[in-house]
Amino acid sequence: MNLKDLSIREDRLAPGHRLCPGCAASIIARIVMLATDKPIVATCATGCLEVSTTIYPYTAWKVPWMHNAFENSAATLSGIETAYQVMKKKGKIQKDIKFVAFGGDGGTYDIGLQSLSGTLERGHDIVYICYDNEAYMNTGVQRSSSTPYGTDTKTTPTGKASFGKDQFKKDLTAVVAGHHIPYVAQASPHNYNDLLRKAEKAFATKGPAFINVISPCVPGWGYPSEKTLTMAKLAVETCFWPLYHIEDDVWILDYDPKDKKLPITEWLKTQARFRHLFKPENADVIKRIQEHVDKDWDKLKKQCGVK
Protein backbone atom coordinates (compact mmCIF):
# COMPACT_ATOMS: atom_id res chain seq x y z
CA MET A 1 0.00 0.00 0.00
CA ASN A 2 1.24 3.49 -0.89
CA LEU A 3 1.88 5.30 2.41
CA LYS A 4 1.33 8.69 0.79
CA ASP A 5 -2.15 7.64 -0.32
CA LEU A 6 -2.80 6.15 3.11
CA SER A 7 -1.84 9.39 4.86
CA ILE A 8 -4.57 11.35 3.11
CA ARG A 9 -7.36 8.84 3.60
CA GLU A 10 -10.02 9.95 6.03
CA ASP A 11 -10.51 7.89 9.17
CA ARG A 12 -13.78 5.98 9.05
CA LEU A 13 -14.09 5.90 12.83
CA ALA A 14 -14.29 9.36 14.38
CA PRO A 15 -12.61 10.37 17.65
CA GLY A 16 -14.70 11.32 20.64
CA HIS A 17 -16.20 7.88 21.25
CA ARG A 18 -16.42 6.47 24.76
CA LEU A 19 -14.12 3.48 24.58
CA CYS A 20 -11.69 3.24 27.49
CA PRO A 21 -8.39 5.12 27.16
CA GLY A 22 -5.96 2.62 25.69
CA CYS A 23 -8.65 0.33 24.19
CA ALA A 24 -7.26 -1.59 21.24
CA ALA A 25 -10.64 -2.11 19.56
CA SER A 26 -10.76 1.38 18.09
CA ILE A 27 -7.13 1.10 16.90
CA ILE A 28 -7.99 -2.15 15.14
CA ALA A 29 -11.17 -0.80 13.54
CA ARG A 30 -9.39 2.32 12.26
CA ILE A 31 -6.51 0.35 10.73
CA VAL A 32 -8.81 -2.19 9.10
CA MET A 33 -11.09 0.40 7.50
CA LEU A 34 -8.12 2.37 6.16
CA ALA A 35 -7.03 -0.71 4.20
CA THR A 36 -9.42 -0.06 1.30
CA ASP A 37 -10.38 3.05 -0.61
CA LYS A 38 -13.67 1.45 -1.65
CA PRO A 39 -16.99 2.28 0.08
CA ILE A 40 -17.58 0.18 3.19
CA VAL A 41 -20.70 -1.17 4.87
CA ALA A 42 -20.08 -2.38 8.42
CA THR A 43 -21.95 -4.40 11.01
CA CYS A 44 -21.02 -4.67 14.66
CA ALA A 45 -22.08 -7.22 17.24
CA THR A 46 -23.20 -6.02 20.65
CA GLY A 47 -20.09 -5.42 22.72
CA CYS A 48 -17.53 -2.82 23.75
CA LEU A 49 -16.97 -1.47 20.25
CA GLU A 50 -20.69 -1.10 19.57
CA VAL A 51 -21.92 0.39 22.85
CA SER A 52 -19.07 2.87 23.14
CA THR A 53 -19.21 4.24 19.58
CA THR A 54 -22.97 4.65 19.23
CA ILE A 55 -24.27 6.48 22.30
CA TYR A 56 -27.71 7.57 21.07
CA PRO A 57 -28.19 9.91 19.24
CA TYR A 58 -24.49 10.02 18.29
CA THR A 59 -22.26 7.71 16.26
CA ALA A 60 -18.51 7.57 15.66
CA TRP A 61 -18.95 5.58 12.44
CA LYS A 62 -18.47 7.47 9.18
CA VAL A 63 -19.68 4.55 7.06
CA PRO A 64 -23.10 2.90 6.70
CA TRP A 65 -23.25 0.82 9.86
CA MET A 66 -25.73 -1.60 11.40
CA HIS A 67 -25.94 -2.81 14.96
CA ASN A 68 -27.21 -6.33 15.49
CA ALA A 69 -27.52 -8.76 18.36
CA PHE A 70 -24.58 -10.38 20.14
CA GLU A 71 -24.83 -13.54 18.08
CA ASN A 72 -25.45 -12.51 14.48
CA SER A 73 -23.02 -9.93 13.13
CA ALA A 74 -21.90 -12.30 10.37
CA ALA A 75 -25.46 -13.35 9.49
CA THR A 76 -26.62 -9.73 9.30
CA LEU A 77 -23.75 -8.79 7.01
CA SER A 78 -24.32 -11.84 4.83
CA GLY A 79 -27.90 -10.66 4.27
CA ILE A 80 -26.73 -7.16 3.38
CA GLU A 81 -24.09 -8.53 1.01
CA THR A 82 -26.66 -10.79 -0.67
CA ALA A 83 -29.04 -7.86 -1.19
CA TYR A 84 -26.16 -5.89 -2.71
CA GLN A 85 -25.35 -8.71 -5.13
CA VAL A 86 -28.99 -8.90 -6.23
CA MET A 87 -29.25 -5.14 -6.77
CA LYS A 88 -25.95 -5.15 -8.66
CA LYS A 89 -27.24 -7.84 -11.03
CA LYS A 90 -30.36 -5.76 -11.62
CA GLY A 91 -28.25 -2.71 -12.42
CA LYS A 92 -29.52 -0.72 -9.44
CA ILE A 93 -26.02 -0.40 -7.93
CA GLN A 94 -22.77 0.11 -9.83
CA LYS A 95 -20.39 0.81 -6.94
CA ASP A 96 -17.81 -1.74 -5.78
CA ILE A 97 -18.73 -1.94 -2.08
CA LYS A 98 -16.82 -3.82 0.61
CA PHE A 99 -18.48 -5.44 3.62
CA VAL A 100 -16.91 -5.85 7.05
CA ALA A 101 -18.26 -7.28 10.31
CA PHE A 102 -16.72 -6.58 13.71
CA GLY A 103 -17.20 -8.78 16.76
CA GLY A 104 -15.45 -9.37 20.07
CA ASP A 105 -14.46 -12.81 21.30
CA GLY A 106 -17.78 -13.28 23.11
CA GLY A 107 -19.71 -12.55 19.92
CA THR A 108 -17.32 -14.58 17.75
CA TYR A 109 -15.73 -17.49 19.66
CA ASP A 110 -18.93 -18.22 21.58
CA ILE A 111 -22.36 -16.75 20.93
CA GLY A 112 -21.84 -15.91 17.27
CA LEU A 113 -19.86 -18.96 16.17
CA GLN A 114 -22.80 -20.62 14.41
CA SER A 115 -23.57 -17.37 12.56
CA LEU A 116 -19.95 -16.95 11.50
CA SER A 117 -19.63 -20.59 10.44
CA GLY A 118 -22.74 -20.43 8.26
CA THR A 119 -21.59 -17.22 6.60
CA LEU A 120 -18.16 -18.69 5.81
CA GLU A 121 -19.57 -21.99 4.55
CA ARG A 122 -22.00 -20.21 2.20
CA GLY A 123 -19.12 -18.23 0.71
CA HIS A 124 -20.33 -14.65 1.20
CA ASP A 125 -17.96 -11.97 -0.06
CA ILE A 126 -17.33 -10.35 3.33
CA VAL A 127 -14.52 -9.66 5.78
CA TYR A 128 -14.96 -10.65 9.43
CA ILE A 129 -12.76 -9.02 12.08
CA CYS A 130 -12.62 -10.49 15.58
CA TYR A 131 -11.12 -8.10 18.13
CA ASP A 132 -10.14 -10.62 20.77
CA ASN A 133 -9.89 -9.12 24.26
CA GLU A 134 -10.25 -12.58 25.84
CA ALA A 135 -13.40 -12.18 27.94
CA TYR A 136 -16.87 -10.63 28.04
CA MET A 137 -15.45 -7.24 28.92
CA ASN A 138 -18.53 -5.14 28.17
CA THR A 139 -20.63 -6.94 30.79
CA GLY A 140 -18.09 -7.11 33.58
CA VAL A 141 -15.16 -9.38 32.64
CA GLN A 142 -16.72 -12.85 32.54
CA ARG A 143 -14.77 -15.74 31.01
CA SER A 144 -15.25 -16.74 27.39
CA SER A 145 -13.82 -19.67 25.43
CA SER A 146 -11.09 -17.24 24.39
CA THR A 147 -10.01 -16.57 27.99
CA PRO A 148 -6.54 -18.04 28.68
CA TYR A 149 -5.87 -20.83 31.13
CA GLY A 150 -5.36 -19.56 34.67
CA THR A 151 -7.09 -16.19 34.17
CA ASP A 152 -8.86 -14.49 37.05
CA THR A 153 -12.30 -13.28 35.87
CA LYS A 154 -15.62 -12.58 37.56
CA THR A 155 -16.83 -16.09 36.68
CA THR A 156 -13.48 -17.82 37.27
CA PRO A 157 -12.42 -16.12 40.52
CA THR A 158 -9.19 -17.13 42.17
CA GLY A 159 -8.80 -18.25 45.77
CA LYS A 160 -8.13 -21.33 47.86
CA ALA A 161 -10.35 -23.50 45.69
CA SER A 162 -9.36 -22.15 42.25
CA PHE A 163 -6.36 -20.83 40.33
CA GLY A 164 -8.66 -19.23 37.73
CA LYS A 165 -10.01 -20.59 34.46
CA ASP A 166 -9.08 -24.25 34.10
CA GLN A 167 -9.58 -24.62 30.33
CA PHE A 168 -7.18 -23.53 27.61
CA LYS A 169 -8.08 -20.88 25.06
CA LYS A 170 -9.99 -22.04 21.97
CA ASP A 171 -7.98 -21.85 18.74
CA LEU A 172 -10.62 -20.03 16.72
CA THR A 173 -8.26 -19.16 13.87
CA ALA A 174 -7.71 -22.87 13.25
CA VAL A 175 -11.47 -23.51 13.54
CA VAL A 176 -12.09 -20.91 10.82
CA ALA A 177 -9.28 -22.41 8.71
CA GLY A 178 -11.25 -25.67 8.80
CA HIS A 179 -13.90 -23.97 6.64
CA HIS A 180 -11.34 -23.79 3.80
CA ILE A 181 -12.15 -20.19 2.96
CA PRO A 182 -9.80 -18.17 0.71
CA TYR A 183 -8.10 -16.10 3.41
CA VAL A 184 -7.58 -16.41 7.18
CA ALA A 185 -5.10 -14.44 9.28
CA GLN A 186 -3.99 -13.69 12.80
CA ALA A 187 -2.71 -10.18 13.56
CA SER A 188 -1.82 -7.67 16.27
CA PRO A 189 -2.36 -3.89 16.46
CA HIS A 190 1.25 -3.33 17.57
CA ASN A 191 2.41 -4.38 14.09
CA TYR A 192 0.51 -1.74 12.15
CA ASN A 193 1.87 -2.66 8.72
CA ASP A 194 1.17 -6.36 9.12
CA LEU A 195 -2.45 -5.75 10.16
CA LEU A 196 -2.92 -3.20 7.38
CA ARG A 197 -1.56 -5.55 4.72
CA LYS A 198 -3.73 -8.39 5.97
CA ALA A 199 -6.83 -6.20 5.95
CA GLU A 200 -5.97 -4.99 2.45
CA LYS A 201 -5.62 -8.61 1.31
CA ALA A 202 -8.89 -9.57 3.02
CA PHE A 203 -10.83 -6.81 1.25
CA ALA A 204 -9.26 -7.78 -2.10
CA THR A 205 -10.14 -11.46 -1.64
CA LYS A 206 -13.15 -12.79 -3.52
CA GLY A 207 -15.25 -14.66 -0.99
CA PRO A 208 -15.09 -14.76 2.82
CA ALA A 209 -12.01 -13.58 4.72
CA PHE A 210 -11.37 -13.66 8.46
CA ILE A 211 -8.81 -11.86 10.63
CA ASN A 212 -8.39 -12.59 14.33
CA VAL A 213 -6.71 -9.66 16.10
CA ILE A 214 -5.43 -9.64 19.69
CA SER A 215 -7.10 -6.71 21.47
CA PRO A 216 -5.62 -5.81 24.88
CA CYS A 217 -8.20 -4.52 27.39
CA VAL A 218 -7.06 -2.08 30.09
CA PRO A 219 -9.70 -2.85 32.79
CA GLY A 220 -10.08 -6.53 31.92
CA TRP A 221 -6.38 -7.37 31.74
CA GLY A 222 -5.21 -4.88 34.37
CA TYR A 223 -2.36 -2.78 33.01
CA PRO A 224 -1.63 0.97 32.50
CA SER A 225 -3.58 2.44 29.58
CA GLU A 226 -0.45 3.62 27.76
CA LYS A 227 0.87 0.03 27.55
CA THR A 228 -1.73 -1.39 25.13
CA LEU A 229 0.59 -1.91 22.18
CA THR A 230 3.29 -3.24 24.53
CA MET A 231 0.80 -5.87 25.76
CA ALA A 232 0.02 -6.87 22.19
CA LYS A 233 3.70 -7.05 21.26
CA LEU A 234 4.54 -9.23 24.28
CA ALA A 235 1.76 -11.65 23.30
CA VAL A 236 3.50 -12.03 19.93
CA GLU A 237 7.10 -12.13 21.22
CA THR A 238 6.21 -14.92 23.68
CA CYS A 239 4.48 -16.82 20.85
CA PHE A 240 1.22 -16.80 22.78
CA TRP A 241 -0.28 -14.98 19.77
CA PRO A 242 1.66 -15.89 16.60
CA LEU A 243 1.33 -13.81 13.45
CA TYR A 244 0.47 -15.94 10.42
CA HIS A 245 -1.98 -16.23 7.56
CA ILE A 246 -3.60 -19.00 5.57
CA GLU A 247 -4.23 -18.41 1.88
CA ASP A 248 -6.07 -21.09 -0.08
CA ASP A 249 -5.26 -23.60 2.69
CA VAL A 250 -1.52 -22.81 2.62
CA TRP A 251 -0.22 -21.85 6.07
CA ILE A 252 2.40 -19.07 6.13
CA LEU A 253 4.24 -17.84 9.24
CA ASP A 254 4.66 -14.05 9.19
CA TYR A 255 6.93 -13.60 12.18
CA ASP A 256 9.35 -15.90 14.00
CA PRO A 257 11.23 -14.46 17.02
CA LYS A 258 13.57 -17.48 16.85
CA ASP A 259 16.22 -17.26 19.59
CA LYS A 260 14.63 -14.02 20.88
CA LYS A 261 11.40 -15.81 21.88
CA LEU A 262 10.44 -14.61 25.35
CA PRO A 263 9.15 -16.85 28.16
CA ILE A 264 5.41 -16.56 28.77
CA THR A 265 6.08 -15.04 32.19
CA GLU A 266 7.16 -11.81 30.45
CA TRP A 267 3.58 -11.38 29.23
CA LEU A 268 1.79 -12.78 32.29
CA LYS A 269 3.59 -10.63 34.86
CA THR A 270 2.46 -7.39 33.22
CA GLN A 271 -1.26 -8.07 33.88
CA ALA A 272 -3.33 -8.03 37.07
CA ARG A 273 -5.50 -10.92 35.84
CA PHE A 274 -2.47 -13.24 36.16
CA ARG A 275 -0.98 -11.78 39.35
CA HIS A 276 -2.09 -14.76 41.46
CA LEU A 277 -0.14 -17.18 39.27
CA PHE A 278 3.12 -15.91 40.70
CA LYS A 279 2.32 -17.27 44.14
CA PRO A 280 4.47 -20.33 44.96
CA GLU A 281 1.48 -22.68 45.00
CA ASN A 282 0.65 -21.80 41.37
CA ALA A 283 4.10 -22.42 39.88
CA ASP A 284 2.84 -25.57 38.18
CA VAL A 285 0.09 -23.54 36.46
CA ILE A 286 2.66 -21.27 34.81
CA LYS A 287 4.63 -24.35 33.80
CA ARG A 288 1.53 -25.83 32.11
CA ILE A 289 0.86 -22.55 30.30
CA GLN A 290 4.44 -22.43 28.97
CA GLU A 291 4.26 -26.06 27.86
CA HIS A 292 0.98 -25.38 26.06
CA VAL A 293 2.38 -22.30 24.29
CA ASP A 294 5.50 -24.21 23.22
CA LYS A 295 3.47 -27.14 21.94
CA ASP A 296 1.15 -24.92 19.90
CA TRP A 297 4.10 -22.92 18.55
CA ASP A 298 5.91 -26.06 17.40
CA LYS A 299 2.72 -27.34 15.77
CA LEU A 300 2.20 -24.04 13.93
CA LYS A 301 5.76 -23.99 12.63
CA LYS A 302 5.31 -27.51 11.25
CA GLN A 303 2.06 -26.49 9.56
CA CYS A 304 3.90 -23.54 7.99
CA GLY A 305 6.90 -25.65 6.99
CA VAL A 306 9.27 -23.71 9.26
CA LYS A 307 12.07 -25.47 11.15
Q: What proportion of the chain, given as a percentage, has pLDDT over 90?
A: 96
pLDDT-based confidence at residue 6 (cuts at 50, 70, 90) = confident
Residue 1's pLDDT is 67
Tell me: pLDDT of 166 over 70.
yes
Distances in whole angstroms, Cα of residue 86 to Cα of each of 71, 72, 96, 135: 25, 21, 13, 38
- Collapsing DSSP to helix, strand or coil, 127 comes out as strand
pLDDT digits (tens, 9 = 90+) for 66-80: 999 999 999 999 999
CB atoms within 10 A of CB 180: 12
Strand-pair category, 65-68 with 250-253: unpaired
* Whether pTM exceeds 0.95: yes
pLDDT digits (tens, 9 = 90+) for 89-108: 999 999 999 999 999 999 99
pLDDT digits (tens, 9 = 90+) for 16-53: 999 999 999 999 999 999 999 999 999 999 999 999 99
Q: What proportion of the chain, given as a percentage, has pLDDT over 70?
A: 99
Domain ranges of the chain: 3-303
pLDDT digits (tens, 9 = 90+) for 117-126: 999 999 999 9
Please tell me the class of the 3-303 domain: alpha beta
Mean of per-residue pLDDT scores for the chain: 97
Tell me: pLDDT of 4 over 80.
no
Residue 307's pLDDT is 85
Please choose, from the candidates 175, 191, 181, 263, the residue with its C-alpha nearest in 3D space to the C-alpha of residue 229. 191
